[in-house]
Amino acid sequence: MRTGSGPRRCAATGSVLAIGMQARDSSRLQVTQDGNTQTDIGSDGADCEGQFANTSEAGVIVDTVEHNTFKHGIGGFSCNGFEAIVSNGGGTIDVTLRDSTFEDNPGDMFEEGNLGAGSTMRWDMQNVIARHTTERGANPAFSAEPGANPIPFNLGDCIVLGHNGGGDNTYFRMRDSILEGCNNGVTALSGLAASNGEGPPQALVLDIDHSRVAGNAKLGVQILNSTPLRLLQVGVANSEVTGSGSFGGSAKAGSPSRSTASSGDVAVASRRVSGGRFHFSSISLSTEVWSSVVPHT
């Protein structure tokens, strides 16, 4: 399926979804896509989405996408190549993305937004290229390159992922992939919004292997935690993070943590590198955060 036929010269459009999926209440949606193309989607200032998956309440989406091509999103800072978002409730979104290319977009190329309470998101991609966004928004105040944004969406990142609800679990896995020419390469956040679920978030897990994160304007990989969190686990192996405008990689936790990795692993994973180049053979970070802290706002 091909969508898009070049720029429109009619009145501006608020939201344009090339491929949209939604599961509400207790519904379950299983999707298999192969060989789709989205090009020239949107209009000036529009919220354009090449792929869009959304659940509310206890909805479940399982989405497998192969051989997808996205190119030239037209719109504002909320234009995305692929956005997956749990809006509320305890639903699940499971994305498997393979052998695909996403290029030339104003806002974040990929968004894995787990905004429910007790919800779960998984994003697993392999042999994927994402490159060239134009938005250059400021990072959150507690980033290694601080700005003023409380939640780091719509900043022009290659991928931004994270959660803000009690009991949330968010997983990201990347293999044999390239992220380049964005604001940040990978931004991962664990936070907790007031009155969004009970207790702390449960897990933020990143697993990156045989991949390249290159030529991004600010940070290559940043992991941010501003609240109590049961498990923060980060693994980067056989990968390169290079050519970042600021630091290659940064990990910042907003509370004391008890680490299950060696002190050397934690120091390397969280160090700031002038000139922005990491070359990883194998680095792991695993912490369990128990102490109560005041979230950064």
Assign 81 a pLDDT band (cuts: 50, 70, 90). Answer: very high
The answer to whether residues 98 and 148 touch, using CB atoms and an 8 Å cutoff, is: no
Output the average pLDDT for the chain: 83
Count of Cβ atoms closer than 10 Å to residue 183 Cβ? 27
**CA-based nearest residue to 217, from 176, 188, 187:** 187
pLDDT greater than 70 at residue 2: no
Q: What is the pLDDT of residue 145?
A: 75
Q: What amino acid occupies position 257? A: S
Query: Can you spell out the DSSP letters for 160-205?
Result: EEEE-STT-EEEEEEES-EEESSS-SEEEEE---TTSSSS---EEE
Instruction: Give the C-alpha separation, 243 to 253, whole Å.
Output: 24
Q: What is the pLDDT of residue 235?
A: 92
pLDDT greater than 80 at residue 138: yes
Q: Provide the pairing of β-strand 159-163 with 15-23.
A: unpaired
Question: What percentage of the chain has pLDDT greater than the value 70?
Answer: 76
Question: How many residues does this entry show for the chain?
Answer: 297
Average pLDDT in the 111-121 region? 97
Using a 10 angstrom Cβ sphere, with 0-12 exposed, 13-18 middle and 19 or more buried, the burial of residue 33 is: middle
Average pLDDT in the 202-216 region? 96
- Specify the higher pLDDT residue, 260 or 227: 227
238-295 pLDDT, tens digit each: 999 999 887 666 666 654 333 333 222 322 233 333 333 444 455 555 555 433 222 3
Q: What is the pLDDT of residue 222?
A: 92
Structure tokens at 71: 């190119």
Average pLDDT in the 214-243 region? 92
- Specify the higher pLDDT residue, 150 or 60: 60
